[in-house]
Structure 1
Amino acid sequence: MKLAAFGDSITAGQYLEETDTYLHMLAVRFGLDAVNAGVPGNTTGQGLERFERDVIAHRPDACIVAFGMNDHVLTAPGIAKTPLADFRRNVERIVGRLREEGIAPLLATVNPIIEGDAERYYYNRHPREWYRDPDGAQARIDLYNEAIRGVAAALDVPLADVALYWSRFVEEGGRLRDLLRTVENSGDDDGVHPTAAGQRLIAECIGDVLARHFPVADAG
């Protein structure tokens, strides 16, 4: 089985070795051929511009669709790079096009972030005062995750709820700061991009969905 992963820097594994990406971990676990179609900084709109070349042309059997981290970002108070309604339509277009080509889609929600303050992490790069409705960047990401869940339910697409999976990890005593790049573990006040441990948790979440809905079996 050939599996593609279509997304942004989280899928690409920015700042990590290729072997530390969730897609590589899935390929090893299930003995899959893998196509990494993640490009740092991409929104769904930018992804659609390269969709035919980077995904369809490779003729995968299934494709993970993992966008939203860049789509939600505000360029002015309350103005997102991809408005929520457009984001939902873009995800629906991606799912529809995959199915037209006989490629099985799998949707994934967006991992949580460390919001921080004006000195470090998200609000060091994005003005906190822009994120008032809803209150905070994480609340805005949550809206995009709800849109992903809504598309999955409406179109009957398997869903890897990464956001929920990470939240449960934290509720059970895990630390979000171990899953994301921080000053302590990388020297960088990132708070958005997963560490190798974060990628492993994404791979676990998606792997559980693959095992339930797709013709794969653990290679080990």
Structure 2
Amino acid sequence: MPVTATAPVGKHCLAAVVHDLQVAWPDNKIVNIIAFGHSVPAGFGITPAVHKRDAYPRLLEDALADAYPHAVLNVITAAAGGENSQQGRERFARDALAHAPRVVLIDYGLNDRGLALQASARNLAAMIVEARAAGACPVLLTPTWDEQAAPDRAGDPLGAQAAMIRRLGELTDVPVADSLAAFQNYRGDRHQLMAQFNHPNREGHALVLGQLMPLFTPSASQP
């Protein structure tokens, strides 16, 4: 799907956001960031318990508030447990873009294993187009860990999702927070990062935060 943007794209887009996060009162602006996706950004731990304070959207808001103490910022979670990108695409305008976001984080890799890879890519591409048309910066996330997956094995659906998301990011000039790579590169016991087999705990979410925060630093976001 061709991507046509009415707003700056890629790092140029995030550079404007980072600039605005640094502006002090009375010239500062509200910066809304939407965390959109399935159960992981929603904060599900051991289903059906939700631990919002331990999930990466909350960790991101706290980290950005520390980094940019003059910013009026909100990280708004608009994620639904059990959802895939087809379902998310249907509510994207209502639940994400209606908040006038500057940034939209899109995280569907775990659940999109139930879709054909091409269908998943089309859904993500459509959300990228819609976000940019609304003046928002899209950011893609690769999936977090699943203890029942083997992403290093050829043909593994989790690894295939991650590879597709990375490629889509390259094709559309969209930043990618590579959560799966962070889990794969972790040198400790990955089980200690998980609340249940497919939901990270606070320590697992902190790995995702480690992939997101560099996107919101002045040096990384400058064109």
> Does the 8 Å contact 1:111/1:166 carry over to 2?
yes
Counterpart selection for 1:99 from 132, 135, 140: 132
* TM-score, length of structure 1 as denominator length: 0.76
CA drift at 1:26: 0.7
CA drift at 1:82: 1.2
Letter in 1 for 2:137: A
> Does the 8 Å contact 1:158/1:213 carry over to 2?
no
Q: 1:191 and 1:8 mapped to 2: Cα distance?
A: 15
> Does the 8 Å contact 2:145/2:200 carry over to 1?
no
Counterpart selection for 2:62 from 24, 28, 36: 28
Higher relative contact order (CA 8 A, sep 6+): 2
Q: 2:74 and 2:89 mapped to 1: Cα distance?
A: 23
Q: 1:199 and 1:152 mapped to 2: Cα distance?
A: 21
Q: 2:103 and 2:55 mapped to 1: Cα distance?
A: 18
Counterpart selection for 1:207 from 197, 213, 221: 213
CA drift at 1:112: 2.2
In the TM superposition, structure 1's runs of 4+ consecutive aligned residues that sit over 6 Å from their partners are: none
Deviations along 1:37-58, whole A, 9 cap, x unmatched? 1100010001011111110100
- SS of 1:71's partner is helix
Alignment of 1:58-97 (within 5 A): 58-72=99-113, 81-97=114-130
> Does the 8 Å contact 2:138/2:174 carry over to 1?
yes
Structure 2 residue runs without a partner (length 5+)? 1-30, 66-72
Structure 1 residue runs without a partner (length 5+)? 73-80, 116-121, 123-132, 182-189, 215-220
- RMSD of equivalent CA atoms: 1.9
Number of residue pairs matched by the alignment: 177
Q: 1:213 and 1:163 mapped to 2: Cα distance?
A: 22
Q: What's the counterpart of residue 190 of structure 2? A: 176
